Amino acid sequence: MDGLIFSQNYYIMKKIKGDKGDAMKTYKLTVFEKNGEKILDEAFEAANDTEAKEKGTEMLTSQNLLEKTHRCTSPEGKLLLFHT
Distance of alpha carbon 82 from alpha carbon 78, whole angstroms = 11
Which residues sit opposite 69 in a β-bridge? Answer: 32
Distance of alpha carbon 70 from alpha carbon 65, whole angstroms = 8
Q: Is there a domain that residue 4 lies in?
A: no
Number of structural domains (the chain) is 1
Q: Is there a domain that residue 62 lies in?
A: yes
pLDDT tens-digit profile of 24-73? 999 999 999 999 999 999 999 999 999 999 999 999 999 999 999 999 99
Q: Comparing 7 with 40, which gets the higher pLDDT?
A: 40
Q: Is there a domain that residue 15 lies in?
A: no
- pTM (2 decimals)? 0.73
Q: Is there a domain that residue 57 lies in?
A: yes
Q: Is there a domain that residue 48 lies in?
A: yes
Q: Is there a domain that residue 76 lies in?
A: yes
| pLDDT for 82 beyond 60 | yes
Beta carbons within 8 Å of 67's beta carbon, 6+ residues apart:
83
- CA 84 to mean position of chain CA atoms: 21
Which residues sit opposite 42 in a β-bridge? Answer: 29
